[in-house]
Structure 1
Amino acid sequence: MTEPSGHAVLQVAVPELEDWIRARTRHYDPRYLSSDPRFAHAHITVLAPLRPDEVDLAAIARIAATSAPFEFALREIKVFPNGCVYLGPEPEEPFRVLTRRVWQAHPSVTPNGAPEPTPHLTLDMLSPAVTVSSTRASLGDLIPAQARAEALELVWYAPSACRLMDRWPIGADF
Structure 2
Amino acid sequence: MGEQDRPGRRSVGWPGHAVLQVPVIELEDWIVTRTRHYDAGFISDDPGFHHAHITVLAPLTSWDVEAIAALAASSKPFDFELDHVDTFADGTIYLHTDKTGEFKQLTAGAWLAHPQVRPYGGDDPLPHLTLDRLSAQVGVASTEALLDGLLPVHGRANALELVWYRSNECHLIGRWPLGG
Q: TM class, shorter-chain normalised?
A: over 0.9
After TM superposition, the runs of 4+ consecutive aligned structure 1 residues lying more than 6 A away are: none
Residue in structure 1 matched with residue 90 of structure 2 by the alignment: 82
Residue in structure 2 matched with residue 28 of structure 1 by the alignment: 38
Residue in structure 2 matched with residue 119 of structure 1 by the alignment: 127
Give distance in 2, aligned partners of 1:36 and 1:11. Answer: 16
Structure 1 residue 80: Cα displacement:
0.2
What is the aligned-residue RMSD (CA, Å)?
0.9
* TM-score, length-scaled by structure 2: 0.92
Q: Which moved more, 1:54-63 or 1:102-111?
A: 102-111
Structure 1 residue 110: Cα displacement:
2.2
**1:170 aligned onto 2:158:** no
* TM-score, length-scaled by structure 1: 0.95
Give distance in 1, aligned partners of 2:162 and 2:122. Answer: 20
Structure 1 residue 130: Cα displacement:
0.8
Aligned amino acid, residue 164 of structure 2: W
Percent identical residues:
54
Aligned amino acid, residue 7 of structure 1: H
Give distance in 1, aligned partners of 2:143 and 2:49. Answer: 24
Residue in structure 1 matched with residue 3 of structure 2 by the alignment: none
Which residue of 88, 92, 95 corresponds with 2:100?
92
Residue in structure 2 matched with residue 156 of structure 1 by the alignment: 164
How many residue pairs are counted as aligned between the two chains?
170
- Unmatched segments (≥5 aa) in structure 2: 1-5
Q: How does 1:6-155 map to 2 (within 5 A)?
A: 6-51=16-61, 54-155=62-163
SS class of match (2:121): coil
SS class of match (2:145): helix
SS class of match (1:140): coil
Aligned amino acid, residue 146 of structure 1: H
Structure 1 residue 74: Cα displacement:
0.4
Give distance in 2, aligned partners of 1:141 and 1:90. Answer: 19
Question: In the TM superposition, what whole-angstrom CA distance separates every residue of 1:60-108 from its partner, at most 9, and x where no partner exists?
Answer: 1001001000000001101000110000211211000000011001112
